[in-house]
Amino acid sequence: MTRIHSGRTPGAAPRKAVPKKKLFVASYGLTPVAQMTFESIDALRSCGVVYSGSVDAMTTKSVHGLGIPLVSLANPGPCGLLEKVLRAFKKNDRVGVLFYGNPLFLNQQMSELLHAVSRLAEVEVVPGVSSFDMLINLFGMTRLSEKGLFIADLNFFMEDPKFTPGPDIFFFAPFRLNAPDCGKFKAGFIKALSGKYARRFPAYLVKCDSNPARVEVIKGCMSCLPALMERCGKQHTLVIFSEGRLSSIDNPPPWLRFTARSVCDCDQRPAGPVRPARPSRQP
């Protein structure tokens, strides 16, 4: 009879399986904990430590109340967060990182972190709620326009703003154009956008929040686009709707809960001085 040797000394205790290290990447949605999924909470509770560089004091307190070992980091940057995570794996088998919005949506720093961590640990990204999801629901976009939906991140798009008008358009991170060193890009973006639409074509700034009372929808037009852009904050998205969508935005069904506040005063502006025509050259 053939005997199979187990590789251990007879009578010795069985070897313990080495636990596999794992990184959980999760989100608390658009507001403190309000949109955090049960899946995210369960995953982060299982971690020895959870890091976040985007939570304020109120959010930190709420997350702690859920039994999550959260450590708030003040502006850690991609390298600082990665260093914390790698050190944490020396003492913990499970580590978590917590972000605002959907973890991978417009989050460039995650790419470097995930590539580095995946060499020594399993990585699981738990889906969350982002401003994109909020915009779709806020404006009742149950179907796409005939020309679809165009999405752009102005962190990169502003350098070469080429697009075709017609679809519904979401420009994320428009506040970047207000940075002191982005004046040239801002002027180029405004020129590219206003050059493709009529002067009175509507443009919207939308600030998303799970609380309807804190949702902000500001309406302007292409003519006053420079002034509209000055109102951009970190949570705003610049939205240009398709012509077919505008009718439902101006006359929304009763189940849509938003009010657009117009800041456009273009119709009330006094007409500027008439420039004299240049004299024609005599032959």
For the chain of 283 residues, list the mean pLDDT of each consecutive stretch of 10. Answer: 47 55 90 84 96 88 94 83 93 93 77 86 88 87 87 88 90 92 92 91 88 84 92 91 86 77 71 40 44
For residue 43, the domain's CATH number is 3.40.1010.10
Same domain for 81 and 203, yes or no, is: no
Same domain for 178 and 106, yes or no, is: no
The verdict on residue 112 lying in a domain is yes
Q: What's the pTM value of the predicted model, to 2 decimals?
A: 0.74
Same domain for 183 and 255, yes or no, is: yes
Domain with 200 in it = 132-265
Same domain for 40 and 120, yes or no, is: yes
Report the domain count for the chain.
2
229-281, pLDDT tens digit by residue? 999 988 899 999 999 888 878 777 777 777 888 888 775 554 444 333 344 44
**Residue ranges with strand state E in the chain:** 22-27, 49-52, 70-72, 94-99, 122-125, 149-153, 168-172, 202-207, 216-221, 236-240, 260-262
For residue 152, the domain's CATH number is 3.30.950.10
Same domain for 60 and 156, yes or no, is: no
Classify the phi-psi angles of 111: left when phi > 0, otherwise alpha if psi is within -120 to 50, otherwise beta: alpha
